[in-house]
Amino acid sequence: MKQDGNPPGKKYLVVVADDLGRSSGINRAVAEAHDKGIVTCASIMVGGEAFQEAVQIALDRSGLAVGLHVTLCDGRAVLPHSSIPSLTDAEGYLEKSPARAWIKYTRPALLSQIESEVEAQFDRLAMAGLYPVHVDCHHHLHMHPFIFEVICRQASKRGVSWVRIPVESLPVVLDLRSRSRGMMPFVEWTVFGIVGMLNKRIVMKYGLRTACHVYGLSRTGGIDEEYLLDVLTHITGKVNEFFTHPDISTEAGRREVQALTSAQVRERVAALDITKANYRELSEGTVILDSVWGRM
């Protein structure tokens, strides 16, 4: 499909703030990073303690596209414990550790409860008047081979267009400034790269799309202005996502707010002829996305 007015080789940058709704400090940081910076999308946790505040923030900002941040660990479920007894404790909390949750969810017997909870999270967002255009998962648990298709199936039913596959380009992963986490960035790149190749088949099966490159994983919790400026020079794909975790309540989160609102970062985006966009705009069919996996 060809559209007029979209220059060949044009690069789009989608900047997503994760965990909207988890706390008021995160909500305020996301609002600031959108109003004064480069954030174009937010992934919302419908079970978060500040969910209602997050809904109002999203409704008040037409340029901030919302996605569902599916939560299957390190948070509270939407359904009561009686409905998903194998997923939550008596207080309704999911497994705290992402690693333990990953292992736990290899049990096929849990899939029906997982799907019920995912469906309930989509429902709660719709009941609040918000309709997601993308979906991802807290701690990237949606990349789990048993969970990814559940989430894509539910997303497809609701008209969601985009799903995150967090695989960065290798030069970014090997950058010396990523070494603060030791070998972990390379291990994540390898594991998610292998799983991602399998999951891309599911993306296409359900008619969804995923960005060419997704940045942020190798420096999770350590993103600053210098790193963001460096990553911008590595962008090569048609559609590129950068996910972040701004939070005015933590030192690391405040550094991310500063980076996302930096005048130097905005100038670098313009100098590199990168166009900021959100996933709603990219779903409207006004640009050519022939290099993006999934539905064209």
What tens digit of pLDDT does each residue of 250-282 get?
999 999 999 999 999 999 999 999 999 999 999
Cα gap 264→258, rounded to integer Å? 11
Whether 90 is in a domain gets the answer yes
Task: Output the pLDDT for position 3.
Answer: 38
61 Cβ contact partners less than 8 Å away, ≥ 6 residues apart: 31, 34, 35
- Give the residue ranges of DSSP H helices in 60-161: 98-104, 111-127, 148-157
Whether 2 is in a domain gets the answer no
Q: How many domains, the chain? A: 1
Q: Which pLDDT tens digit goes with each residue over 37-92?
A: 999 999 999 999 999 999 999 999 999 999 999 999 999 999 999 999 999 999 99
Whether 25 is in a domain gets the answer yes
> Per-residue pLDDT averaged across 136-151, rounded?
95
Whether 148 is in a domain gets the answer yes
* Closest to 282 in 3D by CA, of 210, 205, 174: 210
Cα gap 116→35, rounded to integer Å? 35
* CATH code at position 242: 3.20.20.370
Cα gap 248→42, rounded to integer Å? 16
Whether 4 is in a domain gets the answer no
| Mean of pLDDT over the chain | 89
Whether 239 is in a domain gets the answer yes
Whether 222 is in a domain gets the answer yes
CB of 150 closer than 8 Å to CB of 121: no
CA of residue 39 relative to chain centroid, distance: 12
pTM for the whole structure: 0.90
* Residue 209, token pair as written in the block: 């799309």
> Per-residue pLDDT averaged across 282-296, rounded?
55
Cα gap 64→75, rounded to integer Å? 24
Percent of the chain whose pLDDT exceeds 90 = 75
Whether 6 is in a domain gets the answer no
Asked whether the predicted pLDDT for residue 178 surpasses 60, the reply is no
Structural domain harbouring 183: 11-294
